[in-house]
C-alpha cells in the first residue's frame, strides 16, 4: 500500500539530478528541480560524455522507455577503438571495443543529453533559482531558500548542485575539494574532409589518449551523429528517425559532427596559466604546449573554433567519513567530484540517481522508511563513489613522478614500455581489459 506522495526538492538540474527526477516521477514521488541557470541551454562546459555500462543501466532504470530509446538514438557513433599513442602518433596500446573486450559505451553530446533528460520534466523545472540555504524543521520537513526571496518546503532535499554545492557546504562543512595542480585546455573542430585527413583510421574511429613528455597528455574523440545541419541522415532506420523527429530537443542546434580534443599538464610545467587567458590565447598556449608533437595534432588545434575553447582546473573531492542521515542528502559532483582520469564522473552521478530513486521508490511503497531509504543510499554511494574518486586521482595529480623534470623522463619510459608489452602479449591485454571492465561495472550492469 502506498503512502501519500513524498515531496522531494532537487537543487541542480545536471545529469544526475535530471535522471533522478525521472526515476522519482516514475515511482509516484512529487519532485521539483530548482536550477540556477536561466534557460535549458545555459551552464554547460565540455562537449562529450562517455556513458559506460553503469550509466546506461541507470538511465534505462530511471527514464520512461520511449525517452531511453531517444537517448540511444541521439548518441554519437559508438567508438570502436581505445588507443594510447605517443605525441608522434606512434601506437603504444590499442584495444578493439566490442562485447568481447572493453565496452565502448555510449558517446553523447553534453548538450544533447541535457535536452533528452529535460524532456518530460517541463512542469517540474524551475529555472533562474539560486539556492542559498536550507532549514530543517521539527516536523521532519525541510525548506530551501533562494536568493530571490522565495522558498520551498518538502520531505527531502537533495543537493545535486555540482562541485560548488551550497547544499554540501551546509550539510558537510568538513568536506573539501583539492586542486590536483593539473590544468586542461579543450576545444572542438568541425568535422570536414580536411580534419579527417589529419588522423589515422583508428583515431577517427575511437577514443585516443596521447602520452607525452613532461607529463602532458591529450584526448582526441570524433563525434558523429544521426543528423546533420540539413536534417536526419540517411540510413539511420525509420524507428530512430521517428523518435528523433518528434523529440523536442531537436529544436536546439546542439549536435553537429565534430572532433573534440583536450590537452592537459601540471601547472608548474606550463608557460602560462590557462585560467588567466582568453579563448584565442588558449589555442595559442595549447599550440605552444604541443611543440614537438606530430604536426597533424597541432594542425587540429589550429583548426579549432576559438569560441569553443575553455580551460579547467582539475579538482577532486577529499573522501569523508559517514555522516548522520537526515532529510538532506547529496549526489554526484556535489559529494564525490573526481578527476577525468578514469572517465566515470557523470556515470557515478547516474549510478547515484538510479540507486536513490529505487530506494525512495521503495519508501513510497512503504517497504522502507524515508530515513532507511536515504541511509542505505548514502552508505553504498560513499563506498563506490569515494573509491572512484581515489582511483581517478591516480591519473591526474601534479605531484606524480611523471610531472617531474628528471624522474619524469624515467617514469615516461617505463610507462611506455609497459604499455607496449601489454599491447603485444594477449594474456596481459586480457587481464587489463578484465580489470577495466570490472571497474566500469560492465558485467554487473549487463546482468
Biggest CA–CA distance in the chain, Å, is 68
- Per-residue pLDDT, 241: 66
**pTM over 0.95, yes/no:** no
Q: Name the grid cell of 176.
A: 573539501
- Per-residue pLDDT, 26: 97
CA angle 190, 196, 201 (to 5 degrees): 135
Separation of alpha carbons 414 and 59, rounded Å: 39
| pLDDT tens, residue order, the chain (447 aa) | 557 899 999 999 999 999 999 999 999 999 999 999 876 665 555 678 889 888 999 999 999 999 999 898 888 888 889 999 999 999 999 998 874 445 557 888 888 899 899 999 999 999 999 999 999 999 999 999 999 999 999 999 999 999 999 999 999 999 999 999 999 999 999 889 999 999 999 999 999 999 999 999 999 999 888 765 455 666 555 456 666 666 666 655 456 788 999 999 999 999 999 999 988 899 999 999 999 999 999 999 999 999 889 999 999 999 999 999 999 999 999 999 999 988 889 999 999 999 999 999 999 999 999 999 999 999 999 999 999 999 999 889 999 999 999 999 999 999 999 999 999 999 999 998 888 877 766 544 443
- Per-residue pLDDT, 4: 87
- Per-residue pLDDT, 227: 64
CA 394 to chain centre: 18
- Domains of the chain from N-terminus onward: 7-446 (3.50.50.60)
Reference 98, options 119, 122, 81, 121; nearest CA is 81
Which ranges of 228-278 does DSSP label H, i.e. alpha helix?
238-245
Q: Name the grid cell of 345.
A: 564522473
- Per-residue pLDDT, 436: 80
Length of the chain: 447
CA angle 224, 40, 45 (to 5 degrees): 55
CA angle 28, 29, 30 (to 5 degrees): 120
- Per-residue pLDDT, 240: 65
Separation of alpha carbons 124 and 184, rounded Å: 35
Amino acid at each position: 500500500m502506498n503512502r501519500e506522495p513524498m515531496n522531494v526538492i532537487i537543487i541542480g538540474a545536471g545529469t544526475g539530478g535530471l535522471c533522478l527526477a525521472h526515476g522519482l516521477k516514475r515511482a509516484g514521488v512529487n519532485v521539483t528541480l530548482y536550477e540556477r541557470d536561466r534557460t535549458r541551454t545555459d551552464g554547460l562546459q565540455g562537449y562529450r560524455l562517455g556513458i559506460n555500462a553503469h550509466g546506461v543501466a541507470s538511465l534505462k532504470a530511471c527514464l520512461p522507455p520511449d525517452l531511453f530509446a531517444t537517448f540511444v538514438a541521439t548518441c554519437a557513433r559508438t567508438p570502436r577503438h581505445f588507443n594510447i599513442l605517443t605525441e608522434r602518433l606512434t601506437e603504444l596500446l590499442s584495444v578493439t571495443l566490442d562485447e568481447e573486450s572493453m565496452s565502448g559505451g555510449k558517446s553523447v553530446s553534453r548538450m544533447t543529453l541535457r535536452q533528452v533528460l529535460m524532456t518530460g520534466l517541463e512542469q517540474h523545472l524551475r529555472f533562474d533559482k539560486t539556492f542559498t540555504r536550507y532549514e530543517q524543521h521539527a516536523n521532519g520537513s525541510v525548506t530551501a531558500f533562494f536568493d530571490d526571496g522565495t522558498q520551498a518546503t518538502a520531505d527531502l532535499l537533495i543537493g545535486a548542485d555540482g562541485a560548488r554545492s551550497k547544499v554540501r557546504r551546509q550539510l558537510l562543512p568538513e568536506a573539501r575539494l583539492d586542486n590536483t595542480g593539473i590544468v586542461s585546455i579543450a576545444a572542438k573542430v568541425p568535422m570536414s574532409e580536411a580534419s579527417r585527413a589529419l588522423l589515422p583510421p583508428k583515431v577517427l574511429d575511437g577514443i585516443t589518449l596521447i602520452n607525452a613528455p613532461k607529463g602532458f597528455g591529450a584526448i582526441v574523440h570524433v563525434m558523429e551523429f544521426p543528423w546533420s545541419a540539413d536534417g536526419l541522415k540517411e540510413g539511420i532506420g525509420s524507428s530512430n528517425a521517428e523518435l528523433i523527429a518528434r523529440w523536442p530537443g531537436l529544436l536546439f542546434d546542439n549536435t553537429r559532427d565534430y572532433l573534440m580534443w583536450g590537452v592537459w599538464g601540471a601547472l608548474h610545467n606550463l608557460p602560462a596559466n590557462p585560467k588567466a587567458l582568453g579563448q584565442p590565447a588558449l589555442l595559442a598556449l595549447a599550440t605552444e604546449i604541443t611543440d614537438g608533437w606530430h604536426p597533424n595534432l597541432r594542425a587540429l588545434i589550429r583548426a579549432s573554433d576559438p569560441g569553443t575553447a575553455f580551460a579547467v582546473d582539475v579538482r577532486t573531492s577529499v573522501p569523508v567519513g559517514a555522516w548522520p542521515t537526515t532529510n538532506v542528502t547529496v549526489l554526484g559532483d556535489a559529494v564525490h567530484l573526481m578527476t577525468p582520469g578514469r572517465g566515470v564522473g557523470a556515470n557515478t552521478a547516474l549510478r547515484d540517481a538510479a540507486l536513490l530513486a529505487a530506494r525512495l521508490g521503495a519508501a513510497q511503497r512503504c517497504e522502507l522508511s524515508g530515513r532507511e531509504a536515504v541511509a542505505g543510499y548514502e552508505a553504498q554511494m560513499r563506498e563506490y563513489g569515494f573509491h572512484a574518486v581515489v582511483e581517478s586521482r591516480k591519473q591526474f595529480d601534479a605531484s606524480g613522478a611523471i610531472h617531474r623534470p628528471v624522474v619524469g623522463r624515467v617514469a615516461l619510459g617505463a610507462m611506455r614500455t609497459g604499455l607496449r608489452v601489454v599491447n603485444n602479449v594477449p594474456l596481459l591485454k586480457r587481464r587489463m581489459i578484465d580489470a577495466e571492465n570490472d571497474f566500469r561495472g560492465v558485467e554487473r550492469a549487463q546482468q
